Amino acid sequence: MTPIRVLVVDDSVVIRRLVTDLLQDDPDIEVVGTAVNGRAALGKVDLLEPDLVTMDIEMPEMNGIEAVRALRASGSKVPIIMFSTLTEQGAVATLDALAAGASDYVAKPANVGSVSRSMDQVREALIPRIKSLVARASVPIARSASAPAAARVAAPVARPTLATRSHAEDYRLLVVGASTGGPEALNTLFTALPLLPVPVAVVQHMPPVFTRQFAARLDRHSAWTVTEAEHGQLLTPGTVAIAPGDHHLEIVASSRGFVAKLHQGPQENYCRPAVDVLFRSAVAAVGPAVLAVVLTGMGSDGERGADLIRQRGGSVIAQDQATSVVWGMPGAVANAGLAELVLPLTGVAPELVRRLSTLGRAVPSAHMAREGAR
C-alpha cells in the first residue's frame, strides 16, 4: 500500500520533531514535509499534495484557523487535524477551526512527565484519526443523478427480529451520539431543528473544557437551551444536555422527571463519555419511548446501545456515509441493521420534526419566548 502522505505544520521545532518522529514510526504513514506557519503551509499543500495536514492553531504570520479558511476557499478538500491546547482559549480556537472546515483535532500533551509519554499520548490520539480521515477521503461517494444530496433518503433497513416502533406512539426522550465531525454536524442539526416537546441528551466525544465551550456555542447558535450537563440536573423539553468531557452521562427517571446522572465509570469503547452508556440509560428510563440518532464519528460507540434500543422497540436513525466526516459509528449501526433510516445530515432534522412535533406536549413558554426573540 502507498503510505499516507502527511504535512506537519507547527511553529514549534519541538512539536514538529515530536509529530514527525512518531508518524514516521508507522509504516503506513510518510511525513512529506513540514511548515512553520499557515502561509508556508498553503504553498506546501500545493507543492506536495499531501493526503492530510496536521495544523497548529497559534502561529505567526498566518495562524491555523486562517490557513484552514484559505485552504477551503481555494477548494482544497485535504483532511486537516488541528493541534489544540486543553484550555478555554484553546477550546474556543479549536471550535473556530472546525467551523472553518477542519476535520478533527488532537489535544497537545499537558502535565506529562516525560517526552516518551507525550509521544505515546499524541500517537494514540493522532494515528487512528489520520487513517480514518484519509480512508474516508479516498472512498468515492456515488451521487444520485435525480435528487440533490439533501433530499436523498435511504430505504429503511429491515431487521425482522427487531420490533419496529409505531410512529403514532409518543417518544419521551431524544438521545444523540457523535464523535469525529460531530461538532459541526450537531451545529447543523440543532440550528435547523425547532424546539420540540422532549428533553435531549447528547454525547459528543470531547475532552473537559471543550464540552463546556461547545455547549455555550450551540446555545448561542440555536433556539435550544444548551448546557453542559450537571449531576442532578432536571432535563426538560426545549433543553439539550451535553455530557461533560471525561464523564459518562446517564438519564434517570425520577418523581421530578428525567434527571442527569454523571459519573466516571470505566471507559467504554475507549471513551468517556460513551454513547453506549447514554443509550442504555435511556432505555432503562423510558423503555421503547426513546428516539436515538447516531451521527458522524470514528469507531463503533453507540452500536450496542442502538441494538438495545431496537430490541426494546425504540427507534434509531443514522447519518449516511456521504455526509459523514467518518462513517464509523453510524456505519456500524447501519451495517448491523439497527437503523430504521439512514439519512443525509440535512434530512435528520425534518425527520425528527415529523416524529416529534405532533406529540401534543407544549414546550415551556420560556423556551418559546426565546425562540421568538431569535
What would the grid cell of residue 8 be?
Answer: 506537519
Q: Which of 201, 183, 215, 171 is CA-nearest to residue 262?
A: 201
The amino acid that residue 96 corresponds to is: D
Q: Which of 301, 307, 320, 367 is catalytic?
A: 301
- In the DSSP assignment, the letter for residue 297 is B
Beta-carbon count within 10 A of 73 CB: 10
Catalytic site residue 248? no
Catalytic site residue 25? no
Helix/strand number for the chain, H first, E second:
12, 15
- In the DSSP assignment, the letter for residue 185 is H
Hunting for cell 451535553 — which residue is that? Answer: 242
Residue 316's DSSP bridge partners are: 292
What would the grid cell of residue 330 be?
Answer: 453510524
C-alpha distances out from residue 12 to 47, 103, 170, 226, Å: 22, 22, 55, 36
> Within 13 Å of residue 275, how many CA atoms lie on the same side as its CB?
33
- Maximum CA extent, the chain: 64
Q: Which of 11, 84, 205, 324 is catalytic?
A: 205
What would the grid cell of residue 129 be?
Answer: 484519526
- Measured over the CA atoms of residue 188, residue 171, residue 342 and residue 243, the dihedral's sign is positive
Q: Which of 132, 179, 281, 300 is catalytic?
A: 179
C-alpha distances out from residue 44 to 6, 35, 36, 61, 62, Å: 11, 8, 11, 15, 14
C-alpha distances out from residue 371 to 221, 236, 349, 353, Å: 11, 16, 16, 16
Give the distance, in angstroms, between the CA of residue 349 and the centroid of all CA atoms in the same chain: 16
Residues 122, 19 contacting (CB under 8 angstroms): yes
Angle at 159 between CA 158 and CA 161, to 5 degrees: 150
Catalytic site residue 179? yes
Q: Give the three-class secondary structure for 364.
A: coil
What would the grid cell of residue 298 be?
Answer: 470514528
Q: Which helix (H) or strand (E) holds 239?
A: strand 239-242
Residues that are catalytic = 179, 205, 301
